[in-house]
Structure 1
Amino acid sequence: MEYNHADLFEGVADAIGERVALVCGDERLTYAELDELANRLAHHLEDAGVRPGQHIAVQLYNGVEYAAALLAALKIRAVPINVNYRYVENELLYVYRDSDSVALLYDVEFEDRVAATVPEAPALKHLIAVGGRPSIPGAVAYEDAVREADGTRGFPPRSADDLYIIYTGGTTGMPKGVMWTTENLLLGFWNPSLPRPSRPEDVVENARNGGPLVMMPVAPLMHGAAQMATWIAWFMGATLVYTRRFDAAEVWRTIEREKVNSLTVTGDAMAIPMADELARGDYDTSSLLVFVSTGAIFSGTVRDRIQELLPNTMVLDRFGSTESGSTAEAVAGSTPEKGLRFAPDVEDVTVLDDALQPVKPGSGVIGQVARTGHIAMGYYNDPEKTAKTFPVVDGRRWLLTGDIATVEEDGSIAVYGRGSQAINTGGEKVFPEEVEAVLKGHPAVYDAVVTGIPDERWGNRVAAVIQPSGGGRPSPEDLDAHCRRRLSGYKVPRVYAFVDEMKRSPAGKADYRWAKQVAQEAEE
């Protein structure tokens, strides 16, 4: 057995095959049933000509088919490629081509976009339509593919160095494929509450000895956080629960019906509507032990509201990235408004200064959060960005996350924000996350995204795009007064633009290109 997700899942399926592995809507599969389904899809892909090392694009909503696709690709040593289901044709074409995908699983409701794009991606030779009969010539229906294939294993040996790619980003440019070996992916995203395995068999034993835990990632599986939550659940021997798409009411109904114990969301964009729905609805949440946010900013006001609504649930804020894995947890009292401070999970996490040397705790020196050890290999098809982001210092390979931070005397890491999004206004740096968190503390603000727009005198000025709450639009003067009580003057937005609905990714990440355009148009 190797530190390979397919090897490990098969080991878990052999150990606890009768336990329920996955629930989505009315579908329920045990570990043994899911393993057999993935075997069928894997053999179909093999018969279609997919070979080890080749890439399989997955353009699906959450569901059994997505989980089976991840497993099937890894079983034949192919590489799953997550595709954002919101992408329009030019974005799809970029991912199809950049990833060199040779096969595609897609939901039939995306067929118009797929049909218009696939002819321009000649490497895509095999299409599998999920949820209906395909109209694209040569495409096969998922139901036919798995029904006619062999449900047993019989796959060649795998390696801990097999490739796993997660496409991420897209808010400041086209997405990039983050490459991992399966061993580093497993250990980089290992659940910090459990002891690290010393051998692959320990993972199976951990699952075998796991209790009847029910875990639910709310984000779409096209986001790395949901995929990693999926593997974590299975390697704990837990029952994994999905909803097909994010709907706050459906999430709470599912939590009540399936008695979910652990819930994972991605920041305010999911936590806010979930809090609103919980406040106005009548749901049994007594099973919920842990509410975790990861992958996006979780502001203090929103976290406090969730805690008030779920007084018997532990609310956690996790820190990490697609490139770094899960690295740290917010310390008590830490919020974006007051200052984010995280306690690292592993010794391999620190802050490096401009000379790429570790920052001395308590020195106040500002640098970048960095991790070594179990980190990604680099970016697919982008050696230049790989070399810049993953430098080798004194023979040791590091990941520079882009998060600007310093190290406190107690060893905790104080994070100011993403360097790529920092606004330079008159020589002062403003981190949008801090200002966004303050704005979302205003009772009339439902959501906020902060960006910089050009200014002749200051270089850039701070601008905020605001989605008001249902209570009416706040005035710029009111927002200004609210911010000035909590922020230094240079951080206060000079421009406010109001929108009916904020544009975010399906996982809740801000679209800063769009926000900048909206803010500039509001000023004209």
Structure 2
Amino acid sequence: MVSLGDLRESVSDVVGLVRVLRDHGLVELSRPQHVVLAAKRGERLGPIAALTVNGGEKFADDPCVTDEHGTITYGDLDRQSNALANTLLGMGLARGSVIAVIARDHRGLLITMAAAGKAGLRLVMMNTGFGITQFAEVAEREKVGAILYDEEFGELAAALPTHLPRILTWLDGQAPQGIPTLDEIAETGDPTAPAEPDSAAGMVILTSGTTGLPKGARRGAMSPFASVLLLDRIPFPRKGTSMIASPLFHATGFATCGVNLALGNRIVLRRRFDAEQTVAALSAERVEMLVAVPTMLHRMVALGPDVLGKYDLSALKVIVIAGSALSPALSEAIQDTFGDVLYNLYGSTEVAIASIAQPAELRAAPGTVGRAPISSRLRLYDADDKRITATNVRGRLFVKNGVPFEGYTDGRNKAIIDGYMSTGDMGRFDTDGLLFIEGRDDDMIVSGGENVYPLEVENLLAEHPAVDDVAVIGVPDDEFGTRLRAFVVRADHAEPTPEDIKAHVKTHLARYKVPRDVVFVDDLPRNPTGKLVRRQLPTGPL
């Protein structure tokens, strides 16, 4: 039975949803039939396919995607995705079948995403960082019936059964005999729209997989709440230019891509990230919004004023950052370098967008993930599942919003309390209501009877001028049970000693939070979204 409180929340959400969509020109209340049509199309095609059809109708001649091959229009994207959808169906794939794509960020990936929805095929977005074994295991688990891939991932595709249909999404050399390319299909395929499926087959976005084989998170029909979660706190351009440097197979890249398509923006994509080349593209393409992960911004800031000063970045009004933790030191450095344009997005593949920090909030409280956007609600619970309402008290973070998680493809789900889903993170709210993430709930270690969260030590060391990157983990200890070990990447021309690192922590934190081990490394293991892969850090004797 629905409670009165839940009913009030639902009504408030709908009113707010309509207001945000109206203010951004995505809903015309004077033409309700168009709203109904768009909603039905989203239910049948899924988000990217529905937005591609809408874009072909509203922005046909406007630029849609710019990549290393040039620019295509919204009309091009619509026609070419029709051609691919018809080709896939012509290969004998039945509606509801599963296909997979492993591709860098370029037009071919967007065409594939749109075509899958139009053909009624479920699309698995493979991680470009996969090894052969991991790729093959995910493909088997998800029951993949066809593979689309960039040429560079040919070795991975070869690990799948030979009878599976194959299509090349990006070609640098000559195509292997018998394998069609997306360029050929776009040029010669049938560009008429296939019959719409009865319902969206959905998409599978894989979790980051930092602790094992990535889980598959199902996403079905398009919810209008998904766009509102972003639009409520981030000023997206309209019919402008955005650059998405975050991988499109990741939830942030995917979500921001959808909103940009809805607003008729041109999306600039590059297959690989290079700090100076990205800055050059921001300047040359007059980019108004950049979507990136913290590691990318760290490298861009590190270019320094002499390099950055060569480029005109006056058009850049918004930087959206997500994918891994933003340290207070990097938060300040980004805004000191690019101006107060930073928006720190916190969420996950499972809970979608939970909270967003705006520039003023990041200036007042560097590193915060801000506040919940409309329709998103946040709660903290203690170890006994009791709700925490006091400020500056750490607890397990749970989220409820209008973008329901459909569960993992292996049948599992996240923990839920009172309708709120676990994020797996620890957090706290300060006296101004701003949320801070303080590490994973399973990252806490007990050292000598004291609870220690490694992220607190990481954030402190990230501020040290001699530290370029840092990771702190717990390792077994005969005396204390567990002790802290810090892995440090030195800054250029800096030569800190282990004693320097320990002294810095001892000056600012309790003695039991000082790492017993300090290991200097050339770089840290991070996945394509910038998250630290802690399981690759050695925990044994040094």
TM-score category, normalised to shorter length? 0.7 to 0.9
CA displacement, residues 409-452 of structure 1 (integer Å, 9 cap, x when unaligned): 55443432211333332343333332222212111211111111
- What pairs up with 1:141-152 in 2 under 5 angstroms? 141-152=181-192
Counterpart of 1:477 (choices 499, 505, 524) is 499
Contact kept, 8 Å, 2:233 with 2:356, in 1: the verdict is no
Give the equivalent residue in structure 2 for 1:34.
Answer: 77
CA contact (8 A) 2:251 2:352 kept: no
In the aligned structure 1, how far is the partner of 2:283 from the partner of 2:362? 30
Q: Structure 2: where are the runs of 5+ without partners?
A: 1-36
1:424 corresponds to 2:446: yes
Determine the structure 2 residue equivalent to 1:368. Answer: 397
Q: Tell me which of 74, 77, 88 is aligned to 2:117.
A: 74
SS at match of 2:145: strand
- Counterpart secondary structure, 1:81: strand
1:192 and 1:143 map into 2 onto residues whose CA distance is 33
Alpha-carbon spacing, 1:499–1:317, altered in 2? closer, same or farther (3 Å): same
Alignment CA distance shift 1:189-1:169 (3 Å): farther
1:178 and 2:200 equivalent? Answer: no
**In structure 2, C-alpha distance between the alignment counterparts of 1:476 and 1:41, rounded to whole Å:** 56
Q: Does the Cα contact within 8 Å between 2:238 and 2:264 map onto a contact in 1?
A: yes
Compared with structure 1, are the counterparts of its residues 373 and 34 closer, same or farther at alpha carbon in structure 2 (3 Å cutoff)? closer
Cα distance in 1 for residues equivalent to 2:110 and 2:313: 26
CA distance, structure 2, for counterparts of residue 193 and residue 223 of structure 1:
19
CA contact (8 A) 2:375 2:402 kept: no
- Alignment partners' CA distance in 1, 2:364 and 2:415: 27
User: 1:445-524 residue pairs with structure 2 within 5 A?
Assistant: 445-515=467-537, 517=538, 519-520=539-540, 523-524=541-542
In structure 2, what residue type is equivalent to 1:52? R
Q: Which residue of 2 aligns with 1:302?
A: 330
Q: For residues 327 and 368 of structure 1, do their structure 2 counterparts lie closer, same or farther at Cα, with a shift above 3 Å needed?
A: closer
Aligned residue type for 1:401: T
How far 1:465 sits from its partner (Å)?
Answer: 1.2
Distance 1:344 1:427 in 2: 35
Letter in 2 for 1:51: A
Aligned counterpart, 2:147: 104
Q: Is it true that 1:328 corresponds to 2:370 in the alignment?
A: no
What pairs with 1:305-454 in structure 2 (closer than 5 Å)? 305-311=333-339, 313-330=340-357, 332=360, 340=368, 342-353=370-381, 354=383, 356=385, 358-362=387-391, 364=393, 366-381=395-410, 383=411, 385-386=412-413, 389-391=414-416, 393=418, 396=419, 398-408=420-430, 410-454=432-476
In 2: Cα distance, 1:154 partner to 1:478 partner: 65
**Residues in 2 aligned to 1:499 and 1:336: alpha-carbon distance in whole angstroms:** 33
Aligned AA (1:187): F
Per the normalisation by structure 1, the TM-score is: 0.87
Distance 1:177 1:274, change over 3 A: same
User: 1:122-160 CA distances to partner (integer Å, 9 max, x unpaired)?
Assistant: 7x711112304444x75333333333321121322453x
Maintained 8 Å contact 1:188/1:375? no
Asked if 1 retains the 8 angstrom alpha-carbon contact of 2:233 and 2:373, the reply is: no
Secondary structure in 2 matching 1:52: coil
Q: Report if the CA contact (8 A) 1:38-1:71 is conserved.
A: yes
Q: Which runs of 5+ in 1 are unaligned?
A: 197-205
Contact 2:368 2:434 in 1 (8 A): no
Give the AA of the match of 1:216.
M
Q: Which residue does the alignment assign to 2:250? A: 223
- Segment of structure 1 superposing worse, 225-234 or 429-438: 429-438
Tell me the equivalent position of 2:241. Answer: 214
Count of residue pairs brought into register by the alignment: 493
Q: Is the 8 A contact 2:326 2:367 kept in 1?
A: no
Cα distance, 1:362–1:447 mapped onto 2, change above 3 Å: closer
Question: What secondary structure, in the 3-state scheme, does the structure 2 residue paired with 1:421 have?
Answer: coil
Q: Which residue of 2 aligns with 1:202?
A: none
Q: 1:65 aligns with which of 97, 108, 125?
A: 108
Report the identity percentage.
26
- Does residue 266 (structure 1) correspond to residue 293 (structure 2)? The answer is yes
Distance 1:336 1:475 in 2: 33
Residues 485-517 of structure 1 deviation map (CA, whole Å, 9 limit, x = unaligned): 2322222221111211222112211010112x1
Would the alpha carbon gap of residues 375 and 228 (structure 1) be closer, same or farther in structure 2, given more than 3 Å must change? Answer: same
- In structure 2, do the counterparts of structure 1 residues 45 and 512 end up closer, same or farther at CA, with 3 Å as the change threshold? same
The DSSP-based 3-state class of the residue aligned with 1:154 is coil
Cα gap change, 1:156/1:275 in structure 2, threshold over 3 Å: closer, same or farther?
Answer: same
Distance (whole Å) between structure 1 residues aligned to residue 530 and residue 409 of structure 2: 24
The reply on whether 1:128 has 2:153 as its aligned counterpart is no
Question: What amino acid is aligned across from residue 126 of structure 1 in structure 2?
Answer: P
Tell me the alpha carbon deviations over residues 169-214 of structure 1, each in whole angstroms, 9 at most, x when there is no partner.
2211111111122234x52353533599xxxxxxxxx99xx73321
Matched AA of 2:117: L
Higher strand share: 1
Task: Tell me which amino acid in the other structure corresponds to 2:209.
Answer: G
Mapped to 2, the partners of 1:261 and 1:195 lie a distance apart of 16
CA–CA distance in structure 2, aligned partners of residues 191 and 278 of structure 1: 34
